Structure 1
Amino acid sequence: MKDIPSQEEGEKMQKEELKVEESEEGLTNGWKMFNVLMCGFAFMLVFTAFLTTSMAGKYIIDSLKLETVENLEIDDAFFEFNSSNWPEESKGENITFEEKEKKVKKSFVDQKFGDGYISLSIVYITFCLSNFAAPGVVAFVGHKTTMFIAAATYVLYILTYLNPVPGFLYSVSALNGLGAAFLWTAQGDFLHHQSGTEKLMARNSGTFWGIFQCSLLAGNLYIMFAWQGKEYVDTEMRKQIFTIFAILVTKKMLLFAPFIIFDGFFLGFYTGVYPTAVGNSKNLENASAAVGLCGLMTGVGGIIGGGIFVFGSKIMNRFSRVTIVLCNSVLMLSMLVFVLLNHPFSANIAATDEQPKGFDSVKRELVLYIAFANGFCYTVYKNVVYSSVTEGFAGQTSYAFALYQFLDAGSCAICFFINTSINLLTNVCIMFALLVFSIITFIPFRRIIAK
């Protein structure tokens, strides 16, 4: 008969079993952290080129058009275009022959190359619509394979800027949007599987976004120096769709949605609209190189924003997500005010020599502060979004992340689309309204998931 262990021996066995469990848990957590780090570095490498292209794309194509106009070779194609597009005399109009010729040349060049805002709008519209199919694709193919294949569409998109003819540029933009939906749904669910709790998700998402924001450094460092002194430069899928919508009609998601929509509009603003406004503010000395400096400071802000959730996780966990959002919004609002004071309102649309509304010239120091605040605020908001999805939609994270990306990308696409006709003042007013409404709905959302 087996001896019954004494109380002392029993306690000793329990301690040893506990040590083994803690050791195994530590080993598991170690590998999960390693996975988060590898994911972060992989995304950093892919998005180093993509974000640089995205932030400067509109400006690059506009510069290409200017250069082409100046060096336009008069051939049969131009003569044919010229004969049907030469402006007719209007009553009371007094423009010279040279001005008419320049106008025709600009129109001829405009139809030869695509538009950066339209390209990015197509990316995010396709991104938005493709999120319905993303959970099924990720479940069938797997996280890693999905992310690898989807990343290839980013590379192809970047290559289109070598010769941005409209048909090819816009087709690849749509393909990139498709890949983006699969990539980010897989990334969000992958990060969830490496976490499990809100605190771990906050740490892991902070780690990921801190590393990810480094993607803004290298490419924009290149721009800052290289552009110095330059003047221009998809029966299962149907089930997936309705499952996603069944999340959508819950009280939690309806309260969370405004925050996501604001996040998407902000994404469009800081990755495309503001850098364009910097480059177009010709009242700023060396404005072209400042686009790279702007991207660099946005990356620094993002790294620091992600870093506070990693290295300062014990302190940050003492604060509620509502408190974090409110504090971050104060910084966000100050940034929006300085955007209006420091740039001509039309700078997001076209190059201008106008003075800003608040100063006699565009202040480089404020450009750096605004860029830093853009990166910092976006990373903090993103951390709050990821941790809230993990806690608020446990067991449904794949669908929740897909819906999140749908709303986020849709809002971002709208931002790019309307920026062909709205100025910075309207941009700031829209973001302010979205921010206030998102805070009003985010507070009861957090109260519901805290119960």
Structure 2
Amino acid sequence: MIFSMERTTFSVVVLGVAFMFIFTSFQTQGNMQQVVIKSIQQDDPGFRGSGYISLAVIYAVFATFNWLAPSCLSFLGPKLTMIVGGVTYVIFIASFLWPQTWLLYLSSVLIGVGAALIWTGQGNYLTLMSEQDTIARNSGIFWALFQSSLLFGNIFVYYMFMGKDTIDSGTRLVVFAALTGVALVGLAILLALPKPGADGSGRQDDMGGPLNALKKSFELFKTRDMLLLSVTFFYTGIELSFFSGVYSTCVGSTLRFSDPNRLVGISGMCIGIGEILGGGVFGIFGSKTVKAGRDPIVLLGFLTHLFSFFLIFLNLPTMSPLERTYDPSFFPGGQPSEFVALLCSAMLGFGDACFNTQIYSILGSIYQDNSGPAFALYKFTQSLSAAACFFYSSVVQLYWHLAILTVFCVMGTISFCVVEWKAYRAVQHAVDTKSC
């Protein structure tokens, strides 16, 4: 039993390291995509690609294909599903070595499909490698390793493009060759993952074939618990879009900062630190925190996010998502604080880790026999709300962003707690019945 537990924990660590490499490459590319595309257009006026359209295509396909991902999972199994998804990430990154408009959008469609596959496979694999008493710990371990990609990627961008408004073709070639290599390393690590159920490691999963898996997804989506959890999923998609796109834009557009462009890179690192800290704490102390339930951690994330929204409201001007501005903050003298801006970045990352690690934990616990469809529905709702946020971000001022986030933060926290309390009572009832 000890040997089995060691193997499953090792498999979760390997999974986290693989995602760290793949998403270090992808998130680094995402951080600089718009700057890179503008540079390509200067070198090649015939290139008509848009980073925003590419992003919209990715999330639209991601959301749609999540309904078919469980069917693919039932046919391929979690390991091969993740590998196929990982291949699309390599293709997308490598497409920037030969920038063509049609190739940008084709690879955007491919990675949208691949994102649905890799995340559905990941959720299923993590569940099969966990038990009721280890799912919280394993979720935290995976999250900390995966989110290390934010830290490494932002450090890379910070040093490679320091002081540059445009990126020449030679620099682009070196950078994207390196990022393609990093993604290939992550793909190779996925190939080394042990299959669930092999050599006593984890459990095997029988989803009953592709059509049955699709049927399970529709049936599961209509249940009360999943509808309630979908509100929480929706919130995580909005706040993901906010801290990964909108907040960095706000920081970079606040011209009262001494060096806003430099601050954007440091802000991204602080978000990564917050994510790693949250995942690490809940991973190391997962066996202890799970005894108190998942709701205290989600409530901690709720309070952390609300406090960060309030500080952002005080610190940054409302027009900052839309234009570069000298508008004052609400702090004395109208001068925004760099320390507060970076503190908010870390709190956004930490609160995100609170919500997402506990979502992984509750899905892996409640839906052990339907983890594939459950995680697909999670990513469907999250990616749908992320796409919606990116859509309205081009016209909505910062204060409206914060109002929307606050409303869904409250709703998402309440809905999660309702499901968690029901699950906790069911576990306690089972324990009491067994003791009798």
Fold similarity call, TM over 0.5: yes
Task: Number of aligned residue pairs: give it.
Answer: 383
Within 2, Cα distance between the matches of 1:60 and 1:373?
Answer: 29
TM-score under structure 1 normalisation? Answer: 0.79
CA distance 1:289–1:164, change in 2 (3 Å): farther
Matched residue, 1:54: 30
Matched residue, 2:413: 439
Within 2, Cα distance between the matches of 1:61 and 1:192?
Answer: 39
What amino acid is the match of 1:201? I
What amino acid is the match of 2:322? I
2:265 pairs with 1:292? yes
Instruction: Report the alpha carbon displacement of residue 204 of structure 1 after superposing the two structures with TM.
Output: 0.4
Within 1, Cα distance between the matches of 2:97 and 2:330?
Answer: 38
2:5 pairs with 1:33? no
Equivalent positions of 1:295-374 (< 5 A) are 295-350=268-323, 352-359=324-331, 360-374=334-348
What amino acid is the match of 1:155? V
Instruction: Report the alpha carbon displacement of residue 178 of structure 1 after superposing the two structures with TM.
Output: 0.4
- Alpha-carbon RMSD across the aligned residues, in angstroms, is 2.3
Within 1, Cα distance between the matches of 2:247 and 2:224?
Answer: 34
2:145 pairs with 1:145? no
CA distance 1:434–1:285, change in 2 (3 Å): same
Within 2, Cα distance between the matches of 1:34 and 1:134?
Answer: 26
Write out per-residue CA displacement over residues 250-287 of structure 1, whole angstroms, 9 at most, x where no aligned residue.
Answer: 11111111001101111111222222222233332222
2:157 pairs with 1:223? yes
SS of equivalent residue, structure 2 residue 368: coil
Write out per-residue CA displacement over residues 15-58 of structure 1, whole angstroms, 9 at most, x where no aligned residue.
Answer: xxxxxxxxxx0000100011001000000000001112223334
Within 2, Cα distance between the matches of 1:285 and 1:166?
Answer: 36
What amino acid is the match of 1:150? G
TM-score under structure 2 normalisation? Answer: 0.82
Counterpart contact for 2:248–2:264, Cα < 8 Å? yes
Select the residue among 349, 367, 370 that pairs with 1:393: 367
Greater gyration radius = 1
Within 2, Cα distance between the matches of 1:441 and 1:414?
Answer: 21
Counterpart contact for 2:322–2:397, Cα < 8 Å? yes
SS of equivalent residue, structure 2 residue 394: coil
Write out per-residue CA displacement over residues 301-329 of structure 1, whole angstroms, 9 at most, x where no aligned residue.
Answer: 11110111122234423432222211221
2:52 pairs with 1:117? yes
Counterpart contact for 2:74–2:213, Cα < 8 Å? no
Select the residue among 93, 110, 115 that pairs with 1:180: 115
Counterpart contact for 2:302–2:410, Cα < 8 Å? no
Matched residue, 1:127: 62
What amino acid is the match of 1:246? E
Counterpart contact for 1:346–1:423, Cα < 8 Å? yes
SS of equivalent residue, structure 1 residue 317: helix
What amino acid is the match of 1:37? V
Within 1, Cα distance between the matches of 2:303 and 2:214?
Answer: 37
Within 1, Cα distance between the matches of 2:51 and 2:157?
Answer: 17
Select the residue among 19, 28, 43 that pairs with 2:19: 43
Within 2, Cα distance between the matches of 1:339 and 1:361?
Answer: 13
Counterpart contact for 2:127–2:368, Cα < 8 Å? no
Select the residue among 270, 293, 305 that pairs with 2:243: 270
Gaps of 5+ in 2: 168-208, 427-436
Matched residue, 1:210: 144
Within 1, Cα distance between the matches of 2:94 and 2:409?
Answer: 35
Write out per-residue CA displacement over residues 82-121 of structure 1, whole angstroms, 9 at most, x where no aligned residue.
Answer: xxxxxxxxxxxxxxxxxxxxxxxxxxx7x94433333222
Within 1, Cα distance between the matches of 2:78 and 2:416?
Answer: 30
Gaps of 5+ in 1: 1-24, 73-108
Matched residue, 1:101: none
What amino acid is the match of 1:178? V
Counterpart contact for 1:114–1:166, Cα < 8 Å? yes
2:385 pairs with 1:411? yes
Write out per-residue CA displacement over residues 186-239 of structure 1, whole angstroms, 9 at most, x where no aligned residue.
Answer: 000000011021x31100010001111111122211222333334567xx6554
What amino acid is the match of 1:46? I
Instruction: Report the alpha carbon displacement of residue 60 of structure 1 after superposing the two structures with TM.
Output: 4.5
Within 1, Cα distance between the matches of 2:165 and 2:218?
Answer: 48
Counterpart contact for 1:222–1:292, Cα < 8 Å? no
Within 2, Cα distance between the matches of 1:246 and 1:440?
Answer: 23
Equivalent positions of 1:221-260 (< 5 A) are 221-231=155-165, 237-260=210-233
2:131 pairs with 1:196? yes
Counterpart contact for 1:230–1:288, Cα < 8 Å? no
Within 2, Cα distance between the matches of 1:276 and 1:115?
Answer: 17
Equivalent positions of 1:64-83 (< 5 A) are 68=42
Instruction: Report the alpha carbon displacement of residue 385 of structure 1 after superposing the two structures with TM.
Output: 0.2
Within 1, Cα distance between the matches of 2:392 and 2:325?
Answer: 23
Aligned-pair identity (%)? 31
CA distance 1:116–1:338, change in 2 (3 Å): farther
Within 2, Cα distance between the matches of 1:227 and 1:280?
Answer: 18
Within 2, Cα distance between the matches of 1:63 and 1:346?
Answer: 26
